Amino acid sequence: MQSPTAPLGDRPSHEDALASNAWPFEEARKLLKRYEAKGMPAEVLFETGYGPSGLPHIGTFGEVARTTMVRHAFEVLTEGKVATRLLCFSDDMDGMRKVPDNVPDRALLEPYLHKPLTVVPNPFGSEYESFGDHNNAMLRRFLDTFGFDYDFASATDYYRSGRFDTILKLVAERYDAIMAIMLPTLGEERRATYSPFLPISPKTGRVLYVPMKKVDAEAGTITFDDEDGVETTLPVTGGNVKLQWKPDFGARWAALGVDFEMFGKDHGPNMGVYDRICEALGGRAPEHFVYELFLDENGQKISKSKGNGLTIDEWLTYAPTESLALYMFQRPRQAKKLYFDVIPRAVDEYYQFLAAYPRQAWKERLGNPVWHIHSGNPPAIQLPVSFGLLLNLVSASNAHEPGVLWGFITRHAPGVTATSDPELDRLVGYALRYYEDFVRPNKVFRLPDDVERAALEALDAKLATLATDADGEAIQNAVLDVARPIERYQDLKKTGPQGGPGVTGEWFQALYQILIGQQRGPRFGSFVALYGIDETRALIREALEGRLIAQG
């Protein structure tokens, strides 16, 4: 029988992994079932797609991070006996449909509209040959920064080098079958001109959306009218054409033998089309995972063009990468808001999961997000102070530099310093930045009413009876004792330790509004233990004298 906890270096049993209900294991088991009858292939291929018309974004991180979690779960299930590979595929042969707003010289790119991104000049300098090459480099740099294990693929390279020649000839051969899949999904006007092939004009270099006059499967050519109206015939091989995006999905899966690919809910309605095209070309559709899209604070879909929601750089300015990975792991099939207010909770939840991990049995560990975030090897970190408490400490002390916070921390946890606990020091920096940019501008103090004034005076007197080194639990109980006899704060649905009513959250909300200038905060007793009893009493006096509202 397995012990209640297991050493950090141990590995889970195969049975534990098979039984885990964590979503990466659920997806990995689909891959096991995929090859249940015929046996495992030499390699299982995971793929993510990338449109290189702009810089990598938070969705890019999420897709690669989540795919990596499934890949690792699969490797555990197969005990490392099956090779796996993650291919990050860039659709860099797509035509540039509009000039991006964030390039330094928009006029430079205007003549290259509708040309493949890999022939558009690089507006950011001469380091890379094209705009597509520049954005591909940004993608690779982005992925490398987070330590992802992947292979990179360029659509331009695959089309031009001949790696897609076989599948392109097959598309020509099975053209009617693919058209039969595609046409019912299109409007009447689009059906009249649609073709899965997009020729690259030999005269203008642009990607053309034109109807086919002839598709010669035996010769492997297509015939169409070029932009000048001249009938033109091109081979479908060698980079002379590319495929429309829906057929391209299915054809790529068939050509490369992709086993797993996830995508956002916006692709969900087209998933069956991708699958049928893959199968029409003799392939087997990969296993899918459709994740929900992120929303902004108003519940609207996040859009790069609108600029609503968070960028990855913004998140990483105020919180560690692991907290973002946790946010990606949690409830991927549920729409979640992605804006600045979610960051503190994500940070604290990450460290809570990390602290719980060593105490857990393997069943719980395999469901713990940190096991998936760290590919089975989460670090052993126990923080003496939460991120939420740090934020309230900054707010109460008006600190502007780390040394002020460390003075409080070291007094609260003797022996803990920036040198001995670099992880906490990292959070101190994040807390200062987050407070300065998002908390301080929105702080709103209010004066206490008569009931609150009397309660604060009673709290001040109660705190004066406590030892200066009282712990958070003792302080929390004292704060509750002050509120119990006050009718406004009595919760008749709860029972206090002496049999009387419990205490409502309105008491703590009032404390944070009056003393900190915020609507909520972490456990108040823990905050006082960190900030100091004498300092908290001084804060109460300032609030009673109206000095905090003047400061706010």
Per-residue model confidence as pLDDT tens digits over 250-270: 999 999 999 999 998 888 889
pLDDT of residue 1 exceeding 60 = no
Residue 367: pLDDT band by 50, 70, 90 thresholds?
very high
Between helix 533-544 and helix 387-397 the angle, nearest 10°, is 50
Per-residue model confidence as pLDDT tens digits over 2-31: 333 444 457 888 899 999 999 999 999 999
CB 393 within 8 A of CB 530: yes
pLDDT of residue 351 exceeding 90 = yes
Nearest Cα neighbor of 94 from 183, 209, 223 is: 209
Q: What pLDDT does 55 receive?
A: 67
The amino acid at 242: K
Residue entry with tokens 């299109």: 186
Nearest Cα neighbor of 321 from 438, 150, 146 is: 146
Q: What pLDDT does 551 receive?
A: 66
Looking from the CA of 551 toward its CB, the CA atoms found within 13 Å total 18
Cβ–Cβ contacts within 10 Å for residue 278, how many? 22
Report pTM.
Answer: 0.89
Instruction: Cite the beta strand spans of 192-281 per DSSP E.
Output: 197-199, 214-216, 221-225, 231-235, 241-243, 260-264
Per-residue model confidence as pLDDT tens digits over 93-105: 999 998 887 788 8
Residue 376: pLDDT band by 50, 70, 90 thresholds?
very high
Residue 335: pLDDT band by 50, 70, 90 thresholds?
confident
CB 437 within 8 A of CB 318: yes
Q: Are strands 490-495 and 151-154 parallel, antiparallel or unpaired?
A: unpaired
pLDDT of residue 324 exceeding 60 = yes
pLDDT of residue 438 exceeding 50 = yes
Sign of CA dihedral 144, 334, 250, 234: negative
pLDDT of residue 402 exceeding 50 = yes
pLDDT of residue 298 exceeding 80 = no
Strand partners, 222: 215, 234
Start-to-end C-alpha separation, the chain: 59
Nearest Cα neighbor of 389 from 518, 243, 229, 251 is: 518
Per-residue model confidence as pLDDT tens digits over 491-515: 988 888 877 888 999 999 999 999 9
Q: Extract the tokens encoding 168.
A: 């392109």
Q: Which residues contact 547 (CB under 8 A, 6 or more apart)?
A: none
pLDDT of residue 424 exceeding 60 = yes
Residue 303: pLDDT band by 50, 70, 90 thresholds?
low
Q: What pLDDT does 306 receive?
A: 52
Nearest Cα neighbor of 158 from 100, 116, 196 is: 116
Q: What pLDDT does 305 receive?
A: 46
Residue entry with tokens 């292939």: 41
Q: What pLDDT does 293 receive?
A: 81
The H or E element spanning position 505 is helix 505-511
- Triad 415, 419, 425: Cα angle to 5°: 95
**210 against 336, higher pLDDT:** 210
Q: Are strands 490-495 and 83-90 parallel, antiparallel or unpaired?
A: unpaired
- CA 259, CA 286: separation in Å to the nearest integer? 4
Per-residue model confidence as pLDDT tens digits over 475-496: 999 999 999 999 999 998 888 8
